[in-house]
Amino acid sequence: MKIRSSLSFVLLSTLLSLKYHPDKNKNKGAQEKFAEINNAYDILSDEQKRKNYDMYGDEKGAPGFDAGNPGDGYTFFTGGGPGQSGFTSGSSGGWQHMGGQGSSQTFSFSFGGPGGSRSFGGQGGPSSFGFGLDDIFSGFFGGGMNDQGQSGGFSGSSRSQSRSSPKNIRAINSEVFRKEIADQGMTWLLFSYTPSLQGKQYYESIINEVGGLLQGAIKVGSINCETESSFCKDLGMRPGRAPRLFVYSYKGSDKGSLEEYKGDLIAKNVKTFCQDHLPRFSKRISLNNFDLFSSSVEKYPRVVLLSTKKDTPVIWRVLSGLYHKKFRFYDAEVHDVSDPTVKKLGVDALPAIIGWLSNGEKHILRSGISVKDLKSAIQDLSKLLDSFEKKNKKVASSQTSKTQTDSTEGQLPLLTASNFDALCGENTPLCIVGAFRSSKAREKLESILSKVSQKSLSRRQNVAAGSKDSISYILLDATKQPSFLSAFDKSGFKSSDNFLVAYKPRKGKFAAFTGDMTIEEVETFISSVLNGDIQFTRTRQKPVVK
Q: Using the 8-state DSSP alphabet, how is residue 323 labeled?
A: T
On the question of pLDDT at 209 being above 80, the answer is yes
Select from 252, 276, 300 the last residue of a domain.
276
| Integer Cα distance of 24 and 498 in angstroms | 92
Give the pLDDT score at 417. 85
Is the domain of 41 the same as that of 141?
Answer: yes
Select from 103, 129, 162 the last residue of a domain.
162
| Integer Cα distance of 280 and 39 in angstroms | 38
Is the domain of 7 the same as that of 155?
Answer: yes
Domain-embedded: residue 104: yes
Q: Where would I find the H helices in 356-432? A: 374-409, 420-424
Is the domain of 175 the same as that of 252?
Answer: yes
Confidence of residue 14 (pLDDT cuts 50, 70, 90): low
**Hey, what amino acid is at 77?**
F
Give the pLDDT score at 286. 87
How many structural domains does the chain have?
4
Total number of residues shown for the chain: 546
Distance of CA 148 to the CA centre of its chain: 40
Q: Which residue has the higher pLDDT, 430 or 165?
A: 430
Select from 256, 276, 296 the last residue of a domain.
276
| Integer Cα distance of 196 and 173 in angstroms | 19
pTM passes above 0.85: no
Phi, psi (deg, nearest 5) at residue 185? 90, -10
Domain-embedded: residue 54: yes
Is the domain of 526 the same as that of 382?
Answer: no
Provide the pairing of β-strand 170-171 with 218-224: parallel
Phi, psi (deg, nearest 5) at residue 492? 70, 25
Confidence of residue 325 (pLDDT cuts 50, 70, 90): confident
**Dihedral, CA atoms, 339, 340, 342, 344, nearest 10 degrees?**
160
Domain-embedded: residue 95: yes
| Integer Cα distance of 65 and 537 in angstroms | 49
| Integer Cα distance of 157 and 23 in angstroms | 35
- Residue-wise pLDDT for 383-437, tens only, equals 999 999 999 988 877 655 554 444 444 478 898 888 888 888 888 899 999 999 9
CB 424 within 8 A of CB 484: no
SS3 (DSSP) at 123 = coil
On the question of pLDDT at 365 being above 90, the answer is yes
Domain-embedded: residue 465: yes
Q: List residues bridging with 17 in a β-sheet.
A: none
CA distances to 31, 132, 256 from 28, rounded to whole Å, are 8, 15, 46
CA atoms within 13 A on the CB side of 167: 3
On the question of pLDDT at 461 being above 60, the answer is no
CB 38 within 8 A of CB 46: no
CB 297 within 8 A of CB 273: no
Confidence of residue 313 (pLDDT cuts 50, 70, 90): very high
| Of 161, 138, 163, the residue nearest 151 (C-alpha) | 138
Is the domain of 145 the same as that of 38?
Answer: yes
Is the domain of 436 the same as that of 520?
Answer: yes
| Integer Cα distance of 491 and 143 in angstroms | 93
| Of 194, 274, 185, 191, the residue nearest 235 (C-alpha) | 191
Give every CB contact of residue 301 below 8 A, 6+ residues apart in sequence.
326, 327, 328, 355, 356, 357, 358, 388, 389, 392
Domain-embedded: residue 412: no
On the question of pLDDT at 119 being above 50, the answer is no
| Domain coverage including residue 174 | 166-276
Is the domain of 26 the same as that of 147?
Answer: yes
Is the domain of 465 the same as that of 441?
Answer: yes
CATH number for the domain harbouring residue 449: 3.40.30.10
Is the domain of 447 the same as that of 487?
Answer: yes
Burial of residue 464 (number of CB atoms within 10 Å: 0-12, 13-18, 19+): exposed
Domain-embedded: residue 404: no
Give the pLDDT score at 502. 93
Q: Is the peptide bond before 351 cis (omega within 30 degrees of 0)?
A: yes
382 C-beta neighbours (distance < 10 Å), count: 15
200 C-beta neighbours (distance < 10 Å), count: 21
Is the domain of 238 the same as that of 303?
Answer: no
| Integer Cα distance of 47 and 60 in angstroms | 12
Q: Which residue has the higher pLDDT, 269 or 69?
A: 269
CA atoms within 13 A on the CB side of 502: 23
CB 316 within 8 A of CB 329: yes
Domain-embedded: residue 77: yes
CB 78 within 8 A of CB 99: yes
Q: List residues bridging with 302 in a β-sheet.
A: 328, 356
| Integer Cα distance of 403 and 417 in angstroms | 24
Confidence of residue 45 (pLDDT cuts 50, 70, 90): low
Q: The sheet that has 362-367: what strands, in order across it?
A: 283-285, 328-333, 302-307, 352-356, 362-367
Give the pLDDT score at 292. 59
Radius of gyration of the chain (CA): 31
Give every CB contact of residue 383 below 8 A, 6+ residues apart in sequence.
none
- Residue-wise pLDDT for 290-300, tens only, equals 665 554 556 78
Give every CB contact of residue 240 below 8 A, 6+ residues apart in sequence.
none
Dihedral sign of CA atoms 209, 212, 218, 223 in order: positive
Domain-embedded: residue 545: no
Is the domain of 154 the same as that of 186?
Answer: no
Report which secondary-structure segment, H or E, holds 224. strand 218-224
CB 267 within 8 A of CB 294: no
Give the pLDDT score at 21. 65
Q: What is the mean pLDDT of residues 62-70?
A: 33
Is the domain of 157 the same as that of 175?
Answer: no
- Residue-wise pLDDT for 469-507, tens only, equals 468 899 999 998 888 999 999 888 888 899 999 999 999
Give the pLDDT score at 245. 96
Confidence of residue 345 (pLDDT cuts 50, 70, 90): confident
